[in-house]
Amino acid sequence: MTSQPKHSRPSPTERTRRLLSEAARELLRTGAPLTVQSAAELAGVSRATAYRYLPNNDAVLMHATMPLVEDAGQRLQPPEPDTPDDDTSPTGLPEQASTLVRRMGVWAFDHEHELRTLLRLSLAPERANRVPRRGQTNRDVWISELLEGLPAHVSQAARERLAVALVPLFGADAVVWSTDIAHVDQETALDVMAWIAATLVQATIDEA
């Protein structure tokens, strides 16, 4: 008779840590205060217990934002080229840039409230060194990987300029300028951002 595999139950410590992490994420999603007390109340544990896992309010922020960054890194994959040669061809790379920016844009709008909260916190003087804006969506990684597909004749200066030009097309920055400043709906914003990305990449290749 074949024995059934046993699934170990999470320990009380693991369960409490999970409850507090989920509470921190929910606080961020809803815009509630990111404090140890708020996390403890939402998780249904005492403040004394919460402080064993979250020693201060910055720890609450860390637990709330880590899954957001991981989500962007795990769920969004660089677009696959149609053929092996497309990743370095002048016609293939602009389309990849367009597809990548659109995917990141969809993710950003899906997490709009969280990203706006992080943006607000990053601009607060007391948190200026604790909530870095550049690490919220891993955009540096995506841009770097995209630029690797540029033809060899593109200069380093042109690559660096393109990298800077692509930054506003990712994360909270893309959501803010397209909806708050340009006053366009989500679909229009995604179309415009995808077009900008393709145009910038193509112009860089043509200029070189």
Q: What is the pLDDT of residues 162-186, one digit of tens each?
A: 999 999 999 888 999 999 999 999 9
How far is residue 80's CA from residue 77's CA, in Å, rounded to a whole number? 9
The answer to whether the beta carbons of residues 109 and 186 sit under 8 Å apart is: yes
Rg of the chain on CA atoms, in Å:
21
pLDDT of 118 over the 80 cut: no
Nearest by Cα to 149 from 97, 77, 206: 97
Indicate if the pLDDT at residue 154 is higher than 80: yes
**Domains, the chain, ranges and CATH?**
9-64 (1.10.10), 76-207 (no CATH)
Overall average pLDDT of the 49-67 stretch: 84
pLDDT at residue 180 in the model: 95
Task: Please give the Cα distance from 124 to 127 (Å, whole number).
Answer: 5
Length of the chain: 208
Lowest-pLDDT choice from 57-66, 99-108, 129-138? 129-138
- Tens digit of each residue's pLDDT (9 = 90 or more) over 97-106: 999 999 999 9
Angle among Cα 115, 23, 21 to the nearest 5 degrees reads: 85
* Window from 60-69, 105-114, 150-159, 179-188 with minimum mean pLDDT: 60-69
Asked if 116 contacts 172 with a C-beta cutoff of 8 angstroms, the reply is yes
Cβ atoms 122, 133 nearer than 8 A: yes
User: pTM of this prediction?
Assistant: 0.68
Helix axes 57-75, 12-30, angle to 10 degrees: 80
Fill in the amino acid letter for 36.
V
Confidence of residue 82 (pLDDT cuts 50, 70, 90): very low
184: phi then psi, degrees, rounded to nearest 5:
-115, 160
Question: What average pLDDT score do residues 191-202 get?
Answer: 97
Share of the chain above pLDDT 70, in %: 77
Between 28 and 5, the higher pLDDT residue: 28
Of the candidates 157, 151, 162, which has an alpha carbon nearest to the alpha carbon of residue 101? 162
For 182, the token pair is: 């340009």
Q: Express as a percent the part of the chain with pLDDT over 90.
A: 46
